[in-house]
Amino acid sequence: MVAKILVVEDETQFERLILQRFRRKIRAGTFAFFFAANGREALAILEKEPGIKIVLSDINMPEMNGIELITAIHEKYPLIRTVIVSAYGDMENIRSAMNQGAFDFITKPINFTDLETTINKTLEEVEVLEQAKRSEELAIRNEQLEELDRLKSELFTNIAHEFRTPLTVILGMAEQIKLAPEKWVSTGVDMIHRNGSNLLYLVNEMLDLRKLEAGKIELKMIHGDVIAYIKYIAQSFQALTEQEDILLHFLSSEDELQMDYDPERLLSILSNLLSNAFKYTPAGGHIYLQVDRVLQAIHAAESAERPVDSLKIVVRDTGIGMAESDLPHIFDRYYQADIKEETLETLGGAKTNRTGIGLALTRELTRFMGGEIAVESKVGKGSTFTLLLPILKEQQLGEVQASTKELVKQIASLSVATDAIELFSDGADAKPQLLIVEDNPDILQYISGLLAEDYQLQVAKDGEEGITKALAQIPDIIISDVMMPGKDGFELCETLKLDERTSHIPIILLTAKADAESRLEGLKRGADAYLSKPFQQEELFIRLNQLLALRQKLQAHFAEQIQSTATGNGNQTDNPLLSDMEDSFLARFHQALEANIEEEDFGITEMCNELAMSRAQLHRKIKALTGLSTSHYMRAIRLQKAKLLLESTDLNISEVAYRVGFRDPKYFSRTYSETFGFAPTDTPK
């Protein structure tokens, strides 16, 4: 390879001498010389001619002297080496040039043999430098590859996880249907269908993203009223928002807007933004979908800064929001913002399926349509996504196909459906959760073996761990050894029975001591049953069944009470099967709701705050006591109150609905009829 050398010298005969001396090497293509008469010219040549390796420079030159020049060169071109040409004996200048990083110097009058040696030596140095630089670059590249590898395997884990949930439901359901077809076939098939669609949707999104990135996607544009279509999408999502306890509001400044659009792609974009809004907004929140026509520059589009007639779509939520530092990345493929554990809890476990694909696809699609998307967000306040699409009118008039409308409904139900896993494991037939607290591995194994078939088992190896697990999981029942290191079974029992979050959980204590005294001690601390080791299998089964049957009786009692024409005076908790503790817990629940009964927005989140429990803890407890989910139970109380008002006052239906926190009288009437079996108008006075 040719070595490029720049010579900076104001004496012109120098150029001739060099060309003469190195003519063979120049002809052979070993050296190529460039000449500059001063510093400024030298810098211009360096700019224009990449790959120069050595600069040979005089020190005393007009304008910029050699020392200034080499300083400038070292700053801008760290791989170039400089050699100073100086008058013989000009030690001072030579010293300062070397101090500025000059690699070597030669003195005038020039000894050309020495010059050639110097050039060769300098070239070797440059070669070493370049090699170092190359291996440094290689190391960086390796690091990048490793990072990519890590991201890929992370993605793989995420995707695998994302697939596992629906697959578990599908397989579990198939099994149930096989075992008890009559009982499961109708719900089961629905769940299998929904989860299967979910998987298909996810796979399609991934494939779409790949196609988009490879530029292999085509738009199927039609010309029609885009507002009507967006409204249709909003309504499809709206129909499902009630179960999530989140309100979706559709706002539009235009009644109608005829333009070109691709219905399926637009659906893809909007469903991603809306389902994210649902996913990252806790119960009780709001989502706004606002559509306007604006004149605005779209930066991503070719038209660049010129304002164009655009459709502006804003999706805003009052959800958990994102940190400033996440915002530049959320449209990147596979990127997921960090969400704090407590925040996740407010969303409920069902809402945490994440892949980081949706927004990447959304941005790619938007750009593909000539539009742009932007985000603003604040942690704890909510997020706003703003989409701009150019309004074009080039296509034939067209209708949204019926199949697309069907797809809208399907996708809306996928996005908003409560997680099937939760439905499944909470279903009437799901196995009860049992926590075994036992420090002896053999006994643990023995008990687990006996019960694994009929229960979902969790284990803890001492009282401390037992308490932690009980609080985290709120199991349906606990079996605990008494004698354990650290906290013993009595302490566990007492702690859990005194804590409102776990006080309802039946506890069976196991001990080797058969004496009446410790039995009494256990019962005093709140144990529900006592078994002394060695115990008969049958004895354990009977005890467990008794306790669970008691709970079912309690739940049945609640179900009956909700449908009966019972008092409804806010004190439905007067139940002989309940302990005082549970009674007072439910009373507090009722009081909190009663105090806010006109507030439509008083939902699960507010209730959790009132009772100082997490969503999951409250859910498991309410479910255990009443057989209902928290939101159903709250609704049941609201409806009870409504029934009482209808029975005993002359308020009309809308007024009653309003009084008990239903803003939509139609929805009120429907749920009322479903609960009591007759319409509000038919309520006996």
By CB under 6 A, tell whether 436 contacts ligand ADP: no
By CB under 6 A, tell whether 359 contacts ligand ADP: yes
Point out which span in 27-35, 197-205, 314-322, 427-435 binds ligand ADP (CB under 6 A). 314-322
CA distance 388 to 682: 51
Residue 362 or 480: the one with the smaller Cβ distance to ligand ADP is: 362
By CB under 6 A, tell whether 357 contacts ligand ADP: yes
CA distance 550 to 435: 18
* Nearest distance in Å: CB 382, ligand ADP: 7
Residue 106 or 360: the one with the smaller Cβ distance to ligand ADP is: 360
Task: Decide if 362 contacts 373 (C-beta within 8 A).
Answer: yes
* Nearest distance in Å: CB 161, ligand ADP: 11
Cβ-count burial 92-115 (b if 16+ within 10 Å, e if not): ebbebbeebebbbbbeeeeeeeeb
* Nearest distance in Å: CB 317, ligand ADP: 5
Point out which span in 221-229, 334-342, 433-441, 580-588 binds ligand ADP (CB under 6 A). 334-342
C-alpha gyration radius of the chain: 38
Tokens of 485: 């290191």
* From 46, 52, 259, 320, residue interacting with ligand ADP (rule: CB under 6 A): 320
Specify the DSSP element, H or E, that contains 275.
helix 263-279
Dmax over Cα atoms in the chain, in whole Å? 122
* From 66, 224, 284, 358, residue interacting with ligand ADP (rule: CB under 6 A): 358
Q: How many CA atoms lie within 13 A of 73 on its CB side?
A: 34
Residue 231 or 354: the one with the smaller Cβ distance to ligand ADP is: 354
Q: Apex CA 76: angle with CA 75 and CA 78, to 5°? A: 70
Angle between helix axes 615-626 and 537-563 (nearest 10 degrees) is 90
Compute the CA torsion angle 188, 191, 192, 194 (nearest 10 deg). 160
* Nearest distance in Å: CB 420, ligand ADP: 17
By CB under 6 A, tell whether 322 contacts ligand ADP: yes
By CB under 6 A, tell whether 286 contacts ligand ADP: no
* Nearest distance in Å: CB 385, ligand ADP: 7
By CB under 6 A, tell whether 355 contacts ligand ADP: yes
* Nearest distance in Å: CB 246, ligand ADP: 12
Q: What is the 3-state secondary structure (H, E, C) of 229-253?
A: HHHHHHHHHHCCCHHHCCEEEEEEC
Residue 107 or 343: the one with the smaller Cβ distance to ligand ADP is: 343
Point out which span in 313-321, 445-453, 532-540, 578-586 binds ligand ADP (CB under 6 A). 313-321
By CB under 6 A, tell whether 319 contacts ligand ADP: yes
* Nearest distance in Å: CB 412, ligand ADP: 16
* Nearest distance in Å: CB 407, ligand ADP: 19
Count of positions on this chain that bind ligand ADP (CB under 6 A): 21
* Nearest distance in Å: CB 274, ligand ADP: 9
* From 238, 366, 383, 630, residue interacting with ligand ADP (rule: CB under 6 A): 383
Helices (H), 324-455: 341-347, 358-368, 402-416, 420-426, 441-451
Binding mask 229-268 for ligand ADP (x = CB under 6 A): ----------------------------------------
3-state SS class at 397: strand
By CB under 6 A, tell whether 411 contacts ligand ADP: no
* From 104, 245, 317, 488, residue interacting with ligand ADP (rule: CB under 6 A): 317
Compute the CA torsion angle 258, 260, 264, 268 (nearest 10 deg). -90
Tokens of 200: 């298909």
By CB under 6 A, tell whether 66 contacts ligand ADP: no
CA distance 329 to 182: 49
By CB under 6 A, tell whether 280 contacts ligand ADP: yes
* From 276, 410, 573, 614, residue interacting with ligand ADP (rule: CB under 6 A): 276
Q: Beta strand 372-378 with 307-317: parallel, antiparallel or unpaired? A: unpaired
By CB under 6 A, tell whether 277 contacts ligand ADP: yes
* Nearest distance in Å: CB 585, ligand ADP: 33
* Nearest distance in Å: CB 276, ligand ADP: 3
In the block, tokens 């997680």 appear at 419
- Between the CA of residue 632 and those of 42, 349, 619, 626, 660, what are the distances in Å? 82, 18, 10, 10, 14
CA distance 206 to 123: 52
Question: Shortest CA distance to 510 belongs to which of 535, 487, 492?
Answer: 535
By CB under 6 A, tell whether 346 contacts ligand ADP: no
CA distance 101 to 84: 10
Tokens of 494: 């007492």
Point out which span in 269-277, 474-482, 629-637, 651-659 binds ligand ADP (CB under 6 A). 269-277
Q: Which residues bind ligand ADP (CB under 6 A)?
A: 272, 276-277, 280, 317, 319-322, 330, 335-337, 354-360, 383
